Chain A
Amino acid sequence: MGIVEAILLSVITAATPLVIAALGELVTERSGVLNLGVEGMMVMGAVSAFAATQITGSPYLGILAGIACGAVFSQLFAFLTLTLVANQVATGLALTLLGLGASGMLGESFLGIQGIKLQPIAIPVLADIPVIGPLLFRQDIIFYLSIALVAGVHWFLFKSRAGLKLRAVGDSHASAHALGVNVIRTRYLAVMFGGACAGLAGAQLSLVYTPQWVENMSAGRGWIALALVVFSSWRPWRLIAGGYLFGAVSISQLHAQAFGLGIPSQLLSSLPYLATIIVLILISHNRRTTLINTPASLGKPFVPDR
């Protein structure tokens, strides 16, 4: 295996959780809800996926547990912000606080236990293609899911009727309501999807990236995912570009260090953040296209008239 392939493999592992969590948040935000609790939902997904895997012995059940836990946990946020119209920004941050604390409590008996790694699945024929075979077709199911989910969400948002409704809710909840769309229910489901994705991303952390459970193991990745949604201008395919750009710069800077270039490691470590900003500047100069894709009702509460 060449060094380039090796680097790309690490990039894929690093980028996958970012893409998945960001994708969930993208759908949530497209419905007009800003959930800053990604970090908290992610770490809850990580702990429950790890625990379920340990108890049942099957990482696949672990994945399901991670998804379920993220989805259920997100409903706490949904109830507060949608039913009780509490402020979304503050509630999301409180959700992160709660998730970090609760996952630490739940995970205490799983600390220091050796994890079970989710094994890759080789896709017949395709896996034997040189270079791209091992990179793209000898991966674990979560990686395949991440790509499928991006394609699925793209189709859902732009090609399906339900997706059109969801976008309508996000752009103008009042008109969507007038047209007979159930705004609140749509948003509940969108938040739940966001939670499920964050949970899946968490499962990737504790089953693939580093098969173990330690407190706060998401280490800020939920925040990066949030930033990536903005980076993508709320378009699913761009998430892959953003996630992989961030991952690639993160991994390359480690290689640059191992190579002994003599550049301060702090400067190298800040490159992924700077690179993301610069690329965003380059792609967002067109004000009109950015505006079209930004959900206009983002963060605004909705209460139906009766």
Chain B
Amino acid sequence: MRIELEKRAKISTLFSILSPFIAFLLMIIFGGIMFALLGKNPVTALYSFFVEPLSEVWSLHELAIKAAPLILIAVGLSVCFRSNNWNIGAEGQFIMGAIAGSILPVVFYDWQSPLVLPLMMLMGMLGGALFAAIPAFLKAHMNTNEILTSLMLVYVAQLFLDWLVRGPWRNPGGMNFPETRTFAADAILPEMIASGRTHWGFAFAIIAAILVWFMMRYTLKGFEISVLGQSERAGRFAGFSSRRMIWFSMLLSGALAGLAGISEVSGAIQQLRPVISPGYGFTAIIVAFLGRLNPLGIIAAGLVLALTYLGGEAAQLSLGVSDKVTRVFQGLLLFFVLSCDTLIHYRIRLVWYRFTASDLDGSR
């Protein structure tokens, strides 16, 4: 048996809506089998993964908190990836944004004013953008591949943060433990609604997604991004500069990652510590592609991925499965979603090898 793809004449609207559901159905069947093989009740498992986290208000808030940085980073990355700039160092830009934004609440702890918070957000974006400017400059002017530079700079950012919170920025009243002071009230991103912990970082994510969606769809800039992404040469003929695009996309995604970093620190953690991200910058790459590089799709993808993290915890409690099992489950889910997206662009045919025409005429 063989699988053959045939390109559709135009993108299937039906399947672009249906494919996530098909993937979900496949996952229910496949995941059910997996849990049954592990000797766990598949229905309980699937319930914990997909329903339980959505069944309570507090848990919905947690979902938003977990999804916010993923969405915010992924929206920026989508612009990079669409224009063929392979920024895989968003994790580092997230960290540097958090550091730059924290200068005010840590170094100028005593300065309290309603201005603090907006300035922090701005500085966070600036910090992320400046850190992304390094691979951008190296790519645009020194011809250095951004995959390597952006990735390597992640480790540098992590170590820099580590040094800061253990050395100069350590909380003077914190028994010499590696963390900064807890931010003052003026420097804390407030909660959006009274029913839970969701802070304004989630709103930033949604707003950013909508703005970038609008830009991609209705502005010349969006057109420029797509053209340069598809063919640098075609872009040049249209008068677009790929060098300027490197700067634009890297700075934009760096700024959004930086905003995600300072929002996370100010809204959820409220201090700097040696580790402030469980790999959001890398997970966001998956989110970006899961959302098909479409900012609105990315909102959905970010929420789905966040759901699997919450669901994984619920399953740990209800079934006593290890976190490794939830990792595998997550990986498989991604596989299904990614492969079902094929249906949007292609018709899939199963071909029984013996009966193909080409087999008869011997051309292959």
A–B: direct contact at CB < 8 Å = yes
Contact mask for chain A residues 78-99; partner B; CB cutoff 8 A; 1 contact, 0 none: 0010011111011101110111
Q: Which residues from chain B contact A95 at a C-beta distance below 8 Å?
A: 331
Set A86, A104, A230: member contacting B145, Cβ < 8 A: A230
- Residue of A whose beta carbon sits closest to that of B331: A98
Complex alpha-carbon distance, A91 and B338, angstroms: 7
Mark B206-233 against chain A: 1 for CB-CB distance below 8 A, else 0: 0000000000000000000000000000
The residue of chain A having its C-beta at the shortest distance from the C-beta of B364 within the complex is A182
**Pair A100/B7 contact, Cβ less than 8 Å:** no
Interface residues on B, range: 35 or more
Give chain A's interface secondary structure class.
helix
**Is A105 within 8 A of B328, CB to CB?**
yes
Set of chain B residues within 8 Å of A108, measured between Cβ atoms: 322, 324
Beta-carbon contact of B155 and A273 below 8 Å: yes
Q: Within the complex, what minimum Cβ distance (angstroms) separates B9 from chain A?
A: 13
User: Within the complex, which residue of A76, A94, A285, A303 is in contact with B346, where a contact is CB–CB below 8 Å?
Assistant: A303
Q: What residues on B are CB-neighbors of A276 within 8 Å? A: 148, 152
Chain B residues within an 8 Å CB radius of A264? 163, 167
The answer to whether A84 and B3 touch across the interface, beta carbons within 8 angstroms, is yes
B143 within 8 A of partner (CB): yes
On whether A85 and B148 interact (CB within 8 A), knowing A97-B330, A264-B167, A285-B143, the answer reads no
| Per-residue contact bits, chain A 263-304, to B (CB 8 Å; 1 contact, 0 not) | 010110110011011001100111100100000000000010
Q: Quick one: closest A residue to B345, CB to CB?
A: A85
CA distance A138 to B180 in the complex (A): 50
Contact of B282 (CB < 8 Å), options: A85, A93, A101, A280: A93
Quick one: which of B239-279 are within 8 Å of A by CB?
none
Given A85-B346, A104-B324, A264-B163, A93 contacting B285 (CB threshold 8 A):
yes
Give B338's nearest chain A residue, CB to CB: A86
Q: How far is the CB of A52 from chain B (nearest CB, A)?
A: 20
Q: For the complex, is A161 an interface residue (Cβ under 8 Å from B)?
A: no
A110 within 8 A of B: no
Chain B residues near A213 (CB-CB < 8 A) = none
Q: In the bound complex, do residue B338 and residue A273 qualify as a contact, i.e. CB atoms below 8 Å apart?
A: no
Rounded to whole angstroms, the CA-CA distance of A118 and B106 in the bound complex is 51
CB within 8 Å of A: which B315-364 residues: 322, 324-332, 334-335, 338-339, 341-342, 345-346, 348
Q: How far is the CB of A270 from chain B (nearest CB, A)?
A: 4
Task: Given A101-B327, A101-B331, A306-B6, decide whether A227 and B338 contact each other with a Cβ distance below 8 A.
Answer: no
The yes or no answer to A254 lying at the interface (CB within 8 A) is no
- A233 CB, nearest partner CB in chain B, Å: 8
Chain B residue contacts of A93, Cβ below 8 A: 282, 285-286, 334
Contacts of A143 in B (CB 8 A): none
Tell me, yes or no, whether A193 is within 8 Å of chain B by CB.
Answer: no
Q: Which residue of B5, B152, B346 is within 8 Å of A227 (Cβ)?
A: B152
Whether the Cβ atoms of B144 and A98 lie closer than 8 Å is no
In Å, the complex CA distance between A164 and B289 comes to 32
User: Which residues from chain A contact B144 at a C-beta distance below 8 Å?
Assistant: 277, 280-281, 284
- Tell me if A20 is interfacial: C-beta within 8 Å of chain B: no
Q: CB-CB < 8 A to B282: which residues of A? A: 93
B92 nearest CB across to chain A (Å): 10
> Are B325 and A101 within 8 A (Cβ)?
yes
Expressed in whole angstroms, the Cα–Cα distance for A290 and B147 within the complex equals 14
Number of interface residues of A (CB under 8 A): 46
Q: Is the CB of A101 within 8 A of B330?
A: yes
B160 within 8 A of A: yes
* A215 and B324 alpha carbons, distance in the complex (Å): 10
Q: B147 near A226 (CB under 8 angstroms)? A: yes
A102 proximity list for chain B (CB < 8 A): 324, 327-328, 331
Give A185-234 interface residues, CB cut-off 8 Å to B: 215, 223, 226-227, 230-231
Is B138 an interface residue, CB under 8 A from the partner?
Answer: yes
Q: Scan B130-151; emit 1 where CB is below 8 A from any A CB, else 0.
A: 0000000010001111011101
Contact with A along B1-41 (1 / 0, CB 8 A): 00111110000000000000000000000000000000000
Give the complex CA separation of A106 and B334 in angstroms: 21
B341 touches A86 (CB 8 A): yes
Q: Which of A80, A226, A274, A306 contacts B4 (CB 8 A)?
A: A306
Given contacts A101-B324, A101-B325, A281-B138, contact A80 B156 (CB under 8 A): no
- Among the listed A94, A105, A231, A280, which residue makes an inter-chain contact with B286, where contact means beta carbons less than 8 Å apart? A94
A287 lies within 8 A of B328 (CB): no
Chain B: minimal CB distance from A304 (Å): 9
- Alpha-carbon separation in the docked complex, A91 to B333 (Å): 11
Given contacts A94-B331, A94-B334, A101-B328, contact A84 B285 (CB under 8 A): no
Q: Decide if A86 touches B342 in the complex (CB within 8 Å).
A: yes
Q: Which among A80, A100, A280 is the interface contact of B339 at CB below 8 angstroms?
A: A80
State whether A280 touches B3 (Cβ < 8 A).
no
Contact B156 A273 (CB under 8 A): yes
Q: Which residues of B contact A290 (CB under 8 A)?
A: 143, 145
**Which residue of chain A lies nearest to B134 when distances are taken between CB atoms in the complex?**
A277
Kindly list 11 other residue pairs between chains A and B, CB separation below 8 angstroms, not including A108-B322, A290-B143: A84-B339, A86-B342, A93-B282, A97-B334, A226-B151, A231-B148, A266-B163, A270-B159, A280-B149, A284-B144, A285-B143
For the complex of A and B, 7 pairs with smallest distance between CB atoms: A101-B327, A98-B331, A90-B289, A104-B324, A94-B334, A266-B163, A101-B328
Residue contacts A-B, CB under 8 angstroms, 6 given:
A97-B327, A264-B167, A277-B153, A284-B143, A290-B143, A290-B145
